[in-house]
Amino acid sequence: MATYPQAPVAVHPLAGPYDTAQVLRRRLRAAVKGRDEVIDLIIVALLADGHVLLEDYPGSGKTTLAKALGESVTDAEGQHIAAFRRVQFTPDLLPSDVSGVSVFDVSTSRFEFRPGPIFAHVLLADEINRTSPKVQSAMLEAMAEKQVTVDNHTYPLDAFFFVIATQNPRDLAGTYPLPVAQLDRFLFKINMDYIGREAEIDVLATRKARRSAPDEPLVTRDAIVEARVAMEEHVHVDPRIQTCLVDAARNLRAHKKVLQGLSTRSLVLMIPALQALALLQGRDYVTSKDIEYLAPYVFGHRLVVAPGAGDAKAVVMEGLKGPLEVLTRSTMAGAVAPAVPQTPPPIPPQNGNWG
Amino acid sequence: MGHERSIWWKIPGVIVWMAALLVLAIDFTSTAGTVAALCGVAAAFYAATRTAAMPVRLGRLWLMSLGALGVIALLGYLMRENATLAKVFGSPAVYTFTETASWGIGTLLLLAPLLISASRYASFLSVEAALLVGVFASAFAAHRDGSVHRPYFVTDWLLERNIDPLPFFLMAGAILGGMLIVWLVSRRTAKRSLFDPLLLVAMILGLLLFLPDGKIRQLNAWAAAGNGEKEQKQKPQGGGRGGSDQKMKEQKQEQNQNQDPNPSNGSGGKSFPVAVVNLHDDYNPPYGTFYFRQDALSTWNGKRLVRDASGKLDTDVGIPFPAEAVDVPLRDRADTVQQAGRKRVAHRMKTTVALMTPHSKPFALVDAARFEPAPNPDPKRFERAYKAESIVLDTDFRDLLERAAGSDKWTPEIWTHYTQMPEDPRYRKIAEEARAALPAHLRNVTLAQALAVKYWLDKNTTYNLNVPRADDESDPVEKFLFGDRNGYCVHLAHSAAYLFRSLGLPARVSVGYAVDARQRGSGSAVLIRNGDAHAWPEVYVRGLGWVALDITPEKVATPPQQDKADPELQRMLGEMARNTPASPKEENPPPGDGDVRKAFLEALWALSKMLAPLVATTIVALYLMKVWRRLEPRFCSESQLPVAAYRAALDNLSDLGLARSFGASREEFAMAVPSPEFAQLTDAHMRHSLGAGAPSWTRAKYLELTRAVSAKAAESVPWWRRAIGIANPLSWWRVS
């Protein structure tokens, strides 16, 4: 993450949310070593009210991470919602196994709803691509609508509700890969690589210490929810930022390597993510750097690139470069929003298929 | 976009490029090399079509091509220099191989990247067009007025069939031009840019600048000739004349290749003056033509007559330009003293010759007796000048018939030399036939026999310029005399010389200029034009030396130079050569009359004088802007401080060579600069610009930060780099 010196938060309304984010960050960093970037992204997703899809291999610390996140949150109002649940998705899993089931209570002669594991603050959906589409779609409905429908009765989920789903990038036999429309529900798709050597040594060295809970205070659910509101209110998003996003999206839609471009929804989702990142870094405004940093995670899995065109993230960065430069240059012109419409860079003549 | 046109659209391009390569290669390499270059064009088009779809980087492509070209050139050089290879395969084979390889592969390596580049960027299309135009323009520049005569094999083929090559070449040019347009338009995908016309103009200016010196001089001489005789320039020329004239020149050049550059400076078909001769006395040659001899051909080399290489014979020619007065060694001098009761045979006369085009040797009115240097009356107009004293005949050949042929001072070897000829009985037969036409009492008069041959040739030949050139390697006579008897001066002169020799008369061919005596009019100046170049046969008359006996065919297929020299121009040039201005206005030669290149450079100089203040003002303005941007944080409004201070810091960094690269964010750049103060400034600037507002720092704080940034960043930069940055007036230009 950015290491350039950060100005202290001068604006009061964001002081609380900033502290909350920092506490969360410290707690997670204490629990999971060598995953600072993933931790930051997860906090950003949490603050932006999105969900995260981790693409990694077993044993990479995602459960630890999700569990640490769940354990960091307390329930101030004493609701009976679990902080953390984990569901291992298998082909024979049923929607009710996730959402819960209505059971006939003999004593009251009524059906009583037994909430499933989805009724938790943090849900780890392990190997989400191994389960059948109907379970996946039930999950995804819950993620999008923050509600569960069982027996035609809708049960709302908590506002905090945060899903960390995982899938194994290899070993794809017998899986149900998520279609793009469902991938769209995830704010981020994060590809995790093996952690660094030093970090790995650190993991082994701090094996014992990490078992006990860190000294940091817990974060309340309300603090997070409030942070979401405050962030949206007070982290400044300049009109030029939005212009830049739209121009980048238009660039990418016209890009010859792109089969399906970015949806408008993805741009809408991008704004709170940018704000969350700014907040996490102690800024009360969004800069071009935030866009540059988040774009691959947010746009990468929403883009369908032509076969053989390479990495979607590289394509995203390609389409982003021009609008970002325009944004950066515009700052010299003062705080006035630029009215200059950005034309996409010239596309070289297509002499054949790339592939 | 991306619409791939049919393969047929490429054919005009292939043809145009092949024509260009043909024009380019034919003068520089062998036939094999030319064919290889044409194959290279085809290969380049194939390669460009195949690789166009590949995502190859243009820079890399060009680098690879140029590198490979260098390797090929080096290999070719090494192979040519290698003695062993030449020994094993023979040097012609090695030469052919290296020429083929370097022209074929060279064409491929240069053309393919150009075609690929042009298919991606419109500006390369302009480069391609400019190259094509340049190639054709340079080919035509040497042969103005459309008198194209290369390649020879095409011209000769056409001439042999009595087809004028000019319309043929014009048609070929029109077809090529059309194809060029189709080729360029078919590929133009992007919109037309302003770059194209600019490039073409630059190309034309470049051509003018880099044309060889001689070409410009010719243009100059031509302009001088045309100046004052506009009506002549506008006079339409006969269809084949331009080419024919040119052809004669060419022929002469060829003829003299192993001996001497031709007397005239061969060039375009337009008639232009090459020299002006001032006669110091009034003189009209009895035979009606001023002959100016420059060289003589007398040695029979088994194929044709060439210049005597021994230096012992033909001593009346081959004298270099005089640095001091030199007498021409003549074996026989015509008697210039009038004998009592007899007609004067010859007299001495002085002339001054002023050359307007470069000549290798001086020429003089026959027979030259003495050369003297003379000052150049006008170096702008004349190449050089000299005086010549000649012994000119007052008698016609007909009056000399009683004289004997040859000299009594000659040894038998010299006799043999001047009577050597092909061992072909047909010459003797023709000569006898001519002799038979003489009246009986003259049949055994030696020189009357020569006259008879002349009359026979006059009667039985046709003057025709549209015949294949006589070259060094072939006998100009055999095909002419025993063929259709169509030919021009070279054929006629050689035939006459052979026939004279077959009768035992010593004869040779002289080369120089022949001007109709009537052209002189009442003035003293004789204007010699390029079209006056001539070759004529001569017979040695005892006591007189070489006497011209020119052939004038009765039948004329293509008339020789028919446009008359402008008497006004002749007079004017003659007066100039005498260094007496014709009129006051001539002291200042009219514009356009001078050296073209000089005029161009003068125009350039004038332009630069106009541009200099503009450039100076621009530089000063740039420096002022640079300074102002540094000082702006001191004077700007509070609200502008974050922008101004940040900009000043950026300018300072730019001076040190630190600049944000395209697409990088400001924060990224801030991390690359070794100064935490710059990060603070960046942050303040970003908060001011994209955030809710900048930190409320004082102006002093901003100034201090700005100073600290440059101080810290400068630590890691050598002093000379800083100096360059400070001196660079444009360092702030790209700061953004």
| B662 contact residues in A (CB cutoff 8 A) | 321, 325
Chains A, B: CB pairs < 8 Å? 101
The yes/no answer to whether this complex scores an ipTM above 0.85 is no
Contact A240 B690 (CB under 8 A): yes
Determine the average pLDDT of the residues in A138-158. 87
Q: Which residue on chain A is closest to B696 by alpha carbon?
A: A10
Confidence band, pLDDT 50/70/90 cuts, at residue B612: confident
Q: State the nearest Cα–Cα gap between A184 and chain B, in angstroms.
A: 27
Which of A199, A226, A253 is where one domain is finished? Answer: A226
A182 near A53, Cβ under 8 Å?
no
Please check whether residues A245 and A288 belong to one and the same domain.
yes
Q: State the nearest Cα–Cα gap between A352 and chain B, in angstroms.
A: 5
Chain CA centroid to CA B362, Å: 23
What pLDDT shows up at residue B22? 85
Please check whether residues B139 and B191 belong to one and the same domain.
yes
d(Cα B200, Cα B126) in Å, to the nearest integer? 8
Q: Which residues 6+ apart lie within 8 Å of A245 measured at CB?
A: A267, A270, A271, A291, A323
d(Cα A226, Cα B152) in Å, to the nearest integer? 93
Domain limits at A169? 12-226
Please check whether residues A242 and A189 belong to one and the same domain.
no
Please check whether residues A65 and A151 belong to one and the same domain.
yes
- Cα Rg, chain B, nearest whole Å: 37
Determine the average pLDDT of the residues in B695-720. 87
Q: State the nearest Cα–Cα gap between B107 and chain A, in angstroms.
A: 24
Q: Looking at the domain assignment, is residue B520 inside a domain?
A: yes
d(Cα A302, Cα A259) in Å, to the nearest integer? 11
What pLDDT shows up at residue B258? 38
Q: Looking at the domain assignment, is residue B575 inside a domain?
A: yes
| A271 contact residues in B (CB cutoff 8 A) | none
Q: Looking at the domain assignment, is residue A351 inside a domain?
A: no
| B695 contact residues in A (CB cutoff 8 A) | 7, 10
Phi, psi (deg, nearest 5) at residue B200: -65, -40
Please check whether residues B377 and B518 belong to one and the same domain.
yes
pLDDT beyond 90 at A45: yes
- The CA distances from residue B198 to A119, B126, B130, B194, B214, in Å, are 73, 10, 10, 7, 28
Q: Looking at the domain assignment, is residue B660 inside a domain?
A: yes
pLDDT beyond 90 at A179: no
Which of A176, A206, A226 is where one domain is finished? Answer: A226
What pLDDT shows up at residue A83? 81
Residue A317: CA count within 13 A, CB half-sphere = 14
Q: Which residue on chain A is closest to B671 by alpha carbon?
A: A4
Please check whether residues B15 and B164 belong to one and the same domain.
yes
Q: Looking at the domain assignment, is residue B213 inside a domain?
A: no
Q: Looking at the domain assignment, is residue A292 inside a domain?
A: yes
Q: Which of B99-108, B252-261, B717-726 has the lowest mean pLDDT?
A: B252-261
Please check whether residues A194 and A161 belong to one and the same domain.
yes
Please check whether residues A141 and A279 belong to one and the same domain.
no
Mean pLDDT of chain B: 77
Please check whether residues A44 and A146 belong to one and the same domain.
yes
Please check whether residues B107 and B182 belong to one and the same domain.
yes
Which of B546, B570, B587 is where one domain is finished? Answer: B587
Note the pLDDT tens digit of each residue in B638-667.
888 888 899 899 988 888 888 888 888 888
Q: Which of A5, A325, A352 sits opposite B53 (nearest CB)?
A: A352
B531 near B267, Cβ under 8 Å?
no
The H-assigned helical ranges of A94-205 are 95-99, 133-145, 180-183, 197-205
pLDDT beyond 80 at A266: yes
What pLDDT shows up at residue B269? 53
Which of B587, B604, B634 is where one domain is finished? Answer: B587
Please check whether residues B569 and B625 belong to one and the same domain.
no
Other C-beta atoms closer than 10 Å to the C-beta of A33 total 22
CA-based torsion, B538, B539, B541, B542: positive or negative: positive
Confidence band, pLDDT 50/70/90 cuts, at residue A306: confident
Nearest to A59 by CA among A209, A211, A203, A214: A203
B649 near B709, Cβ under 8 Å?
yes
What pLDDT shows up at residue B236? 38
Which of A163, A194, A226 is where one domain is finished? Answer: A226
Please state whether beta strands B384-393 and A147-150 pair in parallel, antiparallel, or not at all (unpaired).
unpaired
CATH number at residue A277: 1.10.8.80
pLDDT beyond 50 at B137: yes
Q: Looking at the domain assignment, is residue B225 inside a domain?
A: no
Determine the average pLDDT of the residues in B246-266. 40
Please check whether residues B277 and B134 belong to one and the same domain.
no
Note the pLDDT tens digit of each residue in B399-455.
777 788 888 788 888 888 888 888 888 888 888 888 888 888 887 787 888 888 888
Q: Looking at the domain assignment, is residue B224 inside a domain?
A: no
The distance in angstroms from the start CA to the end CA of chain A is: 35
| B680 contact residues in A (CB cutoff 8 A) | 5
What pLDDT shows up at residue A352? 41
Q: Which residue on chain A is closest to B666 by alpha carbon?
A: A328
Determine the average pLDDT of the residues in B546-569. 77
Please check whether residues A202 and A242 belong to one and the same domain.
no
Please check whether residues B286 and B384 belong to one and the same domain.
yes
The H-assigned helical ranges of A255-311 are 264-280, 288-299
Please check whether residues A96 and A200 belong to one and the same domain.
yes
Residue type, B274: V
d(Cα B177, Cα A123) in Å, to the nearest integer? 75
Angle (deg, nearest 10), helices B122-141 and B165-187? 170
Please check whether residues A221 and A239 belong to one and the same domain.
no
Contact B671 A321 (CB under 8 A): no
* B30, two tokens: 């062998």
What pLDDT shows up at residue B194? 53
How many domains does chain B fold into? 3
How many domains does chain A fold into? 2
pLDDT beyond 90 at A246: yes
Q: Looking at the domain assignment, is residue A31 inside a domain?
A: yes
pLDDT beyond 50 at B587: no
Tell whether B638 is within 8 A of chain A (Cβ). no
Contact A349 B736 (CB under 8 A): no
Contact A289 B668 (CB under 8 A): yes
Q: Which residues 6+ apart lie within 8 Å of B268 measured at CB?
A: B143, B144, B145, B147, B218, B222, B242, B246
Confidence band, pLDDT 50/70/90 cuts, at residue A43: very high
A76 near A220, Cβ under 8 Å?
yes
Please check whether residues B298 and B361 belong to one and the same domain.
yes
Please check whether residues A273 and A214 belong to one and the same domain.
no
B356 near B383, Cβ under 8 Å?
yes
pLDDT beyond 80 at B189: no
What pLDDT shows up at residue A40? 93
Determine the average pLDDT of the residues in A157-184. 85
Note the pLDDT tens digit of each residue in B53-86.
677 777 888 888 899 989 988 888 888 787 787 7
Residues 333-392 (B) with a CB less than 8 A from some CB of A: none
Please check whether residues B400 and B543 belong to one and the same domain.
yes
Q: Looking at the domain assignment, is residue B592 inside a domain?
A: no
Q: Which of A184-198, A242-256, B33-47, B253-267 has the lowest mean pLDDT?
A: B253-267
Contact B666 A2 (CB under 8 A): no
| B641 contact residues in A (CB cutoff 8 A) | none
Contact A4 B682 (CB under 8 A): yes
Q: Which of A288, A324, A347 sits opposite B1 (nearest CB)?
A: A347
Domain limits at B561? 244-407+506-587
Q: Which residues 6+ apart lie within 8 Å of B376 measured at CB?
A: B354, B382, B383, B384, B385
Confidence band, pLDDT 50/70/90 cuts, at residue A53: very high
Determine the average pLDDT of the residues in B454-472. 81
Please check whether residues A157 and A277 belong to one and the same domain.
no
d(Cα B393, Cα B547) in Å, to the nearest integer? 9
Q: Three-state DSSP class for A207?
A: coil
Determine the average pLDDT of the residues in B655-681. 86
Confidence band, pLDDT 50/70/90 cuts, at residue B143: low
Please check whether residues B550 and B621 belong to one and the same domain.
no
d(Cα A83, Cα A161) in Å, to the nearest integer? 10
| A347 contact residues in B (CB cutoff 8 A) | 1
Q: State the nearest Cα–Cα gap between B40 and chain A, in angstroms.
A: 23
d(Cα B240, Cα A213) in Å, to the nearest integer? 107
Note the pLDDT tens digit of each residue in B25-44.
877 778 888 899 999 999 99
pLDDT > 90 in chain B, percent? 1
Buried b (16+ CB within 10 A) or exposed e, B131-155: bbbbbbebbbebbbbbbbbbeeeeb
Q: Looking at the domain assignment, is residue A347 inside a domain?
A: no
Please state whether beta strands A258-260 and A304-305 pair in parallel, antiparallel, or not at all (unpaired).
antiparallel
Torsion of CA A69, A75, A80, A85, to 10 degrees: 0
Confidence band, pLDDT 50/70/90 cuts, at residue B261: very low
Determine the average pLDDT of the residues in B292-299. 88
d(Cα B35, Cα B329) in Å, to the nearest integer? 52
Confidence band, pLDDT 50/70/90 cuts, at residue B266: very low
| A287 contact residues in B (CB cutoff 8 A) | 665-667, 686, 690
Please check whether residues B375 and B510 belong to one and the same domain.
yes
Please check whether residues A241 and A127 belong to one and the same domain.
no
Q: Three-state DSSP class for B341?
A: coil
- The CA distances from residue B715 to B673, B678, B718, B727, in Å, are 11, 14, 8, 18
What pLDDT shows up at residue A42? 94
d(Cα B573, Cα B593) in Å, to the nearest integer? 14
pLDDT beyond 60 at B496: yes
Please check whether residues B186 and B249 belong to one and the same domain.
no
Determine the average pLDDT of the residues in B547-562. 78
β-bridge partners, A114: A101
What pLDDT shows up at residue A229? 92
DSSP string, B253-299: HHHTTTT---SS----SS--EEEEEEESS----TTSEEEEEEEEE-E
Q: Looking at the domain assignment, is residue B675 inside a domain?
A: yes
What pLDDT shows up at residue B373? 87
Q: Which residue on chain A is closest to B691 by alpha carbon?
A: A285
Greatest mean pLDDT among A261-270, B278-287, B439-448 lies in A261-270
Determine the average pLDDT of the residues in A324-331. 87
Tell whether B621 is within 8 A of chain A (Cβ). no
Q: Which of A3, A289, A334 sits opposite B643 (nearest CB)?
A: A334
Strands across the sheet with B507-516, in order?
Answer: B364-365, B289-297, B507-516, B533-541, B545-548
